[in-house]
Structure 1
Amino acid sequence: MIIKHTCRDTPYVTETGGKAYNLLLLRQAGYSVPDFIVLPVSFFDEVSDVKHNAEQALIEILEALPNTSQFAVRSSAVAEDSSNFSYAGQFKTLLCVEAKNIPAAIAEVYASVNAQHIAAYQSHSGKADLKMAVIVQAMIPATQAGVAFGIDPLSGNEKDFLINAIEGIGEDLVNGSKNADAYTVQAGSIAQQQIAGDTSVLSIQQIKVVSSTLTTLNEFYKHHQDIEFAFVDDKFYLLQSRPVTTTAQPNEAAITWDNSNIIESYPGLTLPLTFSFIEKMYAAVYRQMSSVMGITVGKIKANDAAFDNMLGLLNGRVYYNLNSWYKVLSLLPGYKMNASFMEKMMGVKDKPDINIETGEAGIRDYFDIAYAVTCIIRNVATARKQKDLFISDFNSIYNQFVNKDFARSTLKETLAYYHRFEQLMVTKWKAPLVNDFFAMVYFGSLQKMCVKHMPDEPNTTNHLIASSKDIITTEPIRRLPLLAKLLTQKPELDEALRSGSSEEFLQVLARYKEEQAAFNEYIKDWGERSIAELKLETITYLQQPELLVDILRSYATSGAQPFEANTSIDAERHKAEVQMLQQLKGHAVKKGLFNHVLKQARYFVSNRENLRYYRTKGFGMVRRMMLGIGEQLYKQGYLQHPRDVFYLHLKELDEVAEEQFTSADIQNKVAQRKQDYQLYQSLPLPERVITKGKVDKIVLPQTTSTFTNIKELQGIPCSAGVVHAKVRLLYDATDMNNLNGDIMATYATDPGWVVLFPGAGGIITERGSLLSHAAIVSREMGIPCIVGLTGLMDILKDGDEILMDGATGIVQIIQQSEQ
């Protein structure tokens, strides 16, 4: 009935499951594995009531594990802990189970094989036998526990053993509820260590024991191992060992992925259609920018790989490929200076270890550099004219498509419209790219000047850039309060807006021509400016006007007033400028250079935000086209729902039009990707990930840390002001319609979040830089703002009372919420 740990003839893995099979091998090889029994796969065959069956076996289980008061009940699927995929953390494990509760625990663990996320993992990893055995193991009173890898799974370095350890049982490490000590061991010696507490969890001798065990296990299995271990004082126990399944290939170059700033535009999960679109756009427009900046066709062609791989999609999340970004930037003159500016603009917190080989410069290279410098100077001189021409061209192209009903066109017609629109946009996108480059350069230069001449006034740069009065992003918060006021002038509309549902309000609104015209005019102008507007799958106000009604309701309820320029910001701006000029008194050349840099920085930073409006409209047009294609594919039987189109790639749409796929092929692709994304939802990644080669499979998340006893956070100060208030954690802008003066805290914001800014007493974000949307708009509005607060959303709790200082970037926790 049961298999005991003392078994000398190892059963087949198809009976024991992968984890139990490994434990039996380890026990036979002499490793110190806590006593256990296995309920084999056959135990569960044709059993309708697993708990009842386990109750019948309880006496035999307890006899096999005497002198034990608590037990661990673990899964052991046939495919689990195999060399192809580990299913690590996917099935249920129950610890500290009392003897009387063992049958219920067995039933619960066995049932976990049918969880939805398991189906997603299985689909992503490949077909696998998911028949389940269950392990019941004696719990040991661990004084220390941890996990360890016999190779660095992210870098592929075989010389590095990674060890994480905490005090107590290992479950607290796996689920992230305790901070872990982290050790990197090379040849038995500690190469690096990060201690979470006051003293090291493991002694040097214990670290050597773990390292030695990894060495012997690697040799024993002929494969690098991932182990869980525990110590009872100095007695070592091996709890499990499985192959490392996500090891990078050592012969491939390391790639540094970072999403510090791009999360602002692509928060959370991004679906395949959006990624295939933006990956193509980034490659095309940055090739164009390089050409505009004077980089020769030959050099651009020679760096195709860098341009084609500027982005990555890891676990459904968009990342910058920093290797490619640095490589593309190195093609321009002044690489080292520009690299530091780029890091600040992109919010890169830690400079990556990326070595760009520029080679020895020959005579031809000097001519190329001279030509590039000439092009850069010419672009600076013509930037304003380029912007005006771009806006004119954009509107001309946009208006060719704006009135088309893509749902009524054929698939091939809509795809033709898309490719034409795409080509026109790519070839006309020069001005925004040039503007972004010079915003980076001039803002970085201004910041260096301020630090050099006014080192004791760290907020000088922010004051100098603020109050430009020409940022188009603030237009919604001028118009929406006026629209809300208009809609509340008529009693019936006022009642419907304040008390009715959004759908009911729109029905009432249809009876008021003037008010409906004003509502529709806003939708026409700003209907695509919504949260996560650059994700094609996002439902905007244009597609669902009810979302705008929710915003208007909050404005009407709070009595929000139209945004107006803050005179105190003007005063700070003028004061900062006078102070800088005073520092440069008597230095005519430096003064002239400062005035030039300041003027250009103000212009390019403002227009960085303004030109995003046209990007919003361009993406909105593509969204409309893709929704039209989704409707067509749904009618033709290719999709079960029109919005399933967002699970396909652009290339696949063209292939469908050419009849290269059947409807079954497409529906299977969509179903598989939906399962993948269910899995990705539970597999977050840190903002910095290093892999060997480009990732096309699941990248398992690194062990996450939980922050404890932290009372103060330091971020990047963006807009001065001290605010003492409660904090509201927003995971999505739809979480809260009215902040009522509370401090808004979130991961990052995009331009669509601006409708919430008027109600915020202050703004703090986990990600971002001085050129992030939150930074630029909060400076314009005079709202205190801090970005780049590492761990913000883990450390703070909704309702915490905090004190933020937008001038220093410091957030203090005054009183923690009882939540």
Structure 2
Amino acid sequence: MFNGKAGSLKFLASLGLNVPPFTVITHEEFISWGDKKIWDELHEALATTDAKKIENLAKSFIHSVHIPDTRLDLGKNVHYAVRSSASLEDSPEHSFAGIFETKLFISQKLNEAIKEVWHSLFHTKALQYCVDRRLSWTLLKMDIVVQAMIDGEKSGVLFQADPLGKITEQIIVAGPGLGQGIVDEETDTDRYIVENYIVKERHIHNKKHYIAFDQGSNTLIKKELADNQRELSTLSDSDIEKLLKASSILSSKVEHFLDIEFTFRNGDLFVLQARPITTVPSRKHIHIFDNSNIAENYPKQSTPLTYTALARGYSANFKNLVRYLGFSEDDFRYINHSLENLVGQWGGQIYYNLNNWYSVYTLLPFGGEKAASSFEEMVGIGTSGMIEVPERTLFQKLRIIAKILPKFASFYFMAGRHHRQYKKEFKELYERFNRDAHNTKDAFETIHLLSRLDSEFLAIIKIPLLNDFFSSVLNRSCRILAGRLAGSRGDQLYNDLLSHREDLESSKAIYSLIGLAESVRANHALVTFLEKNLQDHHILARLLEHSEFRDFYHKFKAHLDRFGDRSQWEMKIEVPTARENPETTIKLILEYAKSGMSEKSQRSREREKSDYAHKELKKYWFAKPLTSLLFWQLFRKCTEVICFREDARFDRVRFKGLSRKLVLSIGKNLVAKKWIEQTEDIFYLTYDELMSLVYDTYGPGYWRELISLRKNHLEKFKDLKLPDRLIVNDLTFAEKLSDKSTVTSSNSVRGVPCSGGIIETQCEVVLDLNQAPSLNGKILVAERTDPAWGYFFVGVKGIIIEKGSMLSHAAIISRELGIPCIINVKNATERFKSGMKIRMNGDTGEIEIL
């Protein structure tokens, strides 16, 4: 596309964009009009380093050039623009910005203007630019673009990506009058920030001056804007729509992000030129890492053992699933590299490798954009079309359908049987390995046991993975159908309908705590004892010492035995479980006891919302029978797979708890052997390194040094707030390692509603559960949550989360508990302060500071 401005204009015109009439004088054509002998001398001089000689010869050659009178014919235009189109200019690598001449509003002496522009090819600053970038002067060639001049009423530039690196945003800079005023900073401008082709920010400034063409003097002059025009937006919604349409056309044809110069005249958009943004990588070579969803389970930094075990798990899990579904070896080879690298780690934080996830999703029968869209909804992200999702041909889709349809159909119609089989296998596996964990004699035996546990668990996890796919597709389908039934009320009613699911393992854990809290509330002596010993790490043993508290002890012990693997950041193997730190759960029980809540009232509250939504959606049976029939059929299946999704998630927590027990046992053995200094140092080895200890040839000194190195490395990134999305090109960040978003002073903000209700009360911002004060009666504000936060949801009046999806744990549990919840509220933990009174509407997603 980009062979200078000339090539750019020809390309723009070929796409049907409104480009002012133009003609191109080629470099060779221009040379043919001059003295050949002088040109030969000049061309020979270009091979030297004598810039002064080159410039003098170029001047002599210009004087010899005679432009034919018949060469220029652009119709009845009175004024022209004469611009350079050098061979290396406006390329993805080199811009030559501000180096070559441009002549505007030329009506007379057009030939002289053309010569002056061509002569600028050999100006000292152009030659120096080549020297600085090690470009050969002999490569310099210049076509000349002569174009009809548009006397624009408003002009500007659209950047398809923020030149500073944030490629998820398009930036429009526009001001009144001609674009020359913007380039020369003589014109005040407005700024529009666009994401997903929607304007999310408008920065409208007081504009006093603009540049216009004065017919009388035949020059550009600076004029004052009328008082009643200064505070108005330069661009109307219609103008922006036209610009974004043009940008969309170009995005579909060009790999590079462009800056697009434009002007408007009588409401018509004229595209003047487009060139690559040289500071931003091309779309083709972009790799996107996103942690919006995965940070729910793996927030902040994770140790090498957690990361490598996770990476291995993802790879093995999906390979097993692909084979289970019956894909061919050719299909497997097609995505094998992607399966090996589904996650990445930056500064110790874990991210999804979106490029590879999308590659895997192309194997689905409906493939391409639809599959990607379901994945994005499941994990609560969007790529703004930055990753190209290949579409399969009809033949390829039919071939894939023929292969996997039997497995998909089997799972859909017999999901319950698959779920029961998985639960049976996991229960047997967990009990067997938990029993064997107490009988290992040394570190090597424990390592072998851990390896077998890992392999056997990965062999059965394919069912939860397939279930996750169905949960995302069915949830999306049901939400769409609810909208078709109830219109704008569809989302709210659907969320409420999902709110009463008593059979969730997560809900059972919460009701177990509420039951314990009721026992505590009825025993004043027990309350006093627990409050006095709250900080005692051995509180369980203390309870057992008092016969009057033994009934509570046995109930609490039973709770920990069943649910004790749940904790904050519970999927990270380095994080202790609630079973290891029972005092944290005791604190929560006391909070529940003080709140006065009961299991009966809690269940009644949840059932009320669900019953109302059920009743309202049933009203549409007669008006829309087919849609209603399809909705209720899919909804029954949807609730089944969502409940299993949550239960299987709890199983993964139990698997992690058992793995942690084995890893700590290995760590203690290695401390005794003096291979490592502390038990927790074991978490700084990778999974493969841990397995390799059985045939270690390095010796203890090596492992201690390696662990120290990794600790120091992670410490450097400890306080760095990485953005949720990283754009990487050729192993280099295209976005800075900081969140560039700013908190505006607006008193209102909007997020994504996922559990209905309107609440007006004080909020509490919580960044760490271990430091959380009492949340009873308050609105909880958090950056992100994991399942352990569900315990803290009980008693809160509302929940506001910065990140998440409609299938995230916060969304599911808030619906289950009947608590208003809004997710994806940008900068929530910075915008809101503890003690602030706010009003949140869980039906619309609106939040207002009062």
TM-score of Structure 1 vs Structure 2, range by shorter chain? 0.5 to 0.7
Specify the SS of the correspondent of 2:288.
strand
Matched, 1:316 2:348: yes
Deviations 1:63-113 (A, max 9, x none): xxxxxxxxxxxxxxxxxxxxxxxxxxxxxxxxxxxxxxxxxxxxxxxxxxx
Matched, 1:721 2:753: no
Instruction: Tell me the equivalent position of 1:817.
Output: none
Corresponding pairs, count:
599
Matched, 1:509 2:515: no
Distance 2:283 2:593 in 1: 61
User: Which of 656, 674, 685 does residue 648 from structure 1 map onto?
Assistant: 685
Matched, 1:676 2:713: yes
TM-fit CA distance, 1:565:
5.2
Contact 2:798/2:821, CA 8 A, preserved across alignment: yes
Q: What letter matches 2:399 in structure 1? A: F
Deviations 1:600-631 (A, max 9, x none): 11211222212211111111111111111211
Instruction: Tell me the equivalent position of 2:673.
Output: 636
Instruction: Tell me the equivalent position of 1:295.
Output: 327
Instruction: Tell me the equivalent position of 2:779.
Output: 743
Deviations 1:441-486 (A, max 9, x none): 1110011112233222141221232212221201222122332443
TM-fit CA distance, 1:272:
1.1
User: Which of 265, 277, 280 does residue 297 from structure 2 map onto?
Assistant: 265
Specify the SS of the correspondent of 1:436.
helix
Q: What letter matches 2:814 in structure 1? A: S
Q: CA RMSD in A?
A: 3.5
Contact 1:502/1:550, CA 8 A, preserved across alignment: no
Matched, 1:760 2:796: yes
CA distance change for structure 1 residues 420 and 154 in 2, over 3 Å: closer, same or farther?
Answer: farther
Distance 2:280 2:669 in 1: 41
The TM-score, its normalising length taken from structure 2, stands at 0.65
Instruction: Tell me the equivalent position of 1:304.
Output: 336
* Structure with greater contact order relative to length (CA < 8 Å, sep ≥ 6): 1
> Which of 766-775 and 409-418 deviates more?
409-418
Distance 1:201 1:528 in 2: 61
> Which of 425-434 and 382-391 deviates more?
425-434
Deviations 1:637-672 (A, max 9, x none): 221111011111011112333213222221222212
Distance 2:670 2:841 in 1: 53
Matched, 1:483 2:516: yes
Instruction: Tell me the equivalent position of 2:576.
Output: 539
User: Which of 433, 436, 440 does residue 468 from structure 2 map onto?
Assistant: 436
TM-fit CA distance, 1:726:
0.7
Distance 1:260 1:393 in 2: 32
Contact 2:481/2:627, CA 8 A, preserved across alignment: no
TM-fit CA distance, 1:801:
0.7
Contact 1:747/1:767, CA 8 A, preserved across alignment: yes
Contact 1:469/1:565, CA 8 A, preserved across alignment: no
Contact 1:533/1:540, CA 8 A, preserved across alignment: yes
TM-fit CA distance, 1:404:
3.9
Matched, 1:395 2:432: no
Contact 2:365/2:398, CA 8 A, preserved across alignment: no
Distance 1:759 1:567 in 2: 14
Instruction: Tell me the equivalent position of 2:722.
Output: 685
User: Which of 196, 201, 204 does residue 198 from structure 1 map onto?
Assistant: 204
Matched, 1:423 2:455: yes
Instruction: Tell me the equivalent position of 1:797.
Output: 833
> Which of 739-748 and 686-695 deviates more?
686-695
Specify the SS of the correspondent of 1:705.
coil
Q: What letter matches 1:615 in structure 2? A: R
Q: What letter matches 2:285 in structure 1? A: A
Contact 1:802/1:813, CA 8 A, preserved across alignment: yes
Distance 1:194 1:725 in 2: 28
Contact 1:721/1:807, CA 8 A, preserved across alignment: yes
Instruction: Tell me the equivalent position of 1:785.
Output: 821
Contact 2:301/2:348, CA 8 A, preserved across alignment: yes
Matched, 1:451 2:483: yes
Instruction: Tell me the equivalent position of 1:667.
Output: 704
Distance 1:428 1:785 in 2: 34
User: Which of 291, 294, 309 does residue 277 from structure 1 map onto?
Assistant: 309
Instruction: Tell me the equivalent position of 2:216.
Output: none
> Which of 284-293 and 747-756 deviates more?
284-293
Distance 1:762 1:661 in 2: 54
> Which of 607-616 and 416-425 deviates more?
607-616
Counterpart mapping for 1:88-103 below 5 A: none
Q: What letter matches 1:610 in structure 2? A: D
Matched, 1:339 2:372: yes
Distance 2:789 2:831 in 1: 22
Specify the SS of the correspondent of 2:652.
helix
> Which of 501-510 and 475-484 deviates more?
501-510
Specify the SS of the correspondent of 2:599.
coil
Distance 1:774 1:280 in 2: 27
User: Which of 648, 654, 663 does residue 611 from structure 1 map onto?
Assistant: 648
Q: What letter matches 2:316 in structure 1? A: A
Matched, 1:351 2:387: no
Distance 2:206 2:505 in 1: 54
TM-fit CA distance, 1:587:
5.4
Distance 1:672 1:182 in 2: 46
The structure whose Rg is larger is 2
Deviations 1:346-401 (A, max 9, x none): 11145341112345454x76333222223211211121101101111001111111
Q: What letter matches 2:699 in structure 1? A: T
Counterpart mapping for 1:41-80 below 5 A: none
Contact 1:710/1:795, CA 8 A, preserved across alignment: no
CA distance change for structure 1 residues 539 and 694 in 2, over 3 Å: closer, same or farther?
Answer: farther
Deviations 1:712-741 (A, max 9, x none): 111111111111111100101122252120
Matched, 1:469 2:510: no
Instruction: Tell me the equivalent position of 1:70.
Output: none
Distance 2:640 2:193 in 1: 48
Residue identity (%): 25
Deviations 1:111-151 (A, max 9, x none): xxxxxxxxxxxxxxxxxxxxxxxxxxxxxxxxxxxxxxx99
Q: What letter matches 2:458 in structure 1? A: V
CA distance change for structure 1 residues 387 and 527 in 2, over 3 Å: closer, same or farther?
Answer: same
Residue ranges of structure 1 left out of the alignment (5+ in a row): 1-149, 164-179, 185-191, 206-246, 815-819
Specify the SS of the correspondent of 2:488.
coil
Contact 2:756/2:841, CA 8 A, preserved across alignment: yes
Deviations 1:765-806 (A, max 9, x none): 001111111111111111111111111112111111100011
Distance 1:381 1:681 in 2: 48
TM-fit CA distance, 1:325:
1.4
CA distance change for structure 1 residues 200 and 693 in 2, over 3 Å: closer, same or farther?
Answer: farther
Distance 1:639 1:698 in 2: 39
Instruction: Tell me the equivalent position of 2:105.
Output: none
TM-fit CA distance, 1:568:
5.5
Instruction: Tell me the equivalent position of 1:166.
Output: none
Instruction: Tell me the equivalent position of 2:142.
Output: none
Specify the SS of the correspondent of 2:717.
helix
Q: What letter matches 2:379 in structure 1? A: M
User: Which of 399, 403, 420 does residue 371 from structure 1 map onto?
Assistant: 403
Instruction: Tell me the equivalent position of 1:708.
Output: 744
Specify the SS of the correspondent of 1:319.
strand
> Which of 345-354 and 325-334 deviates more?
345-354
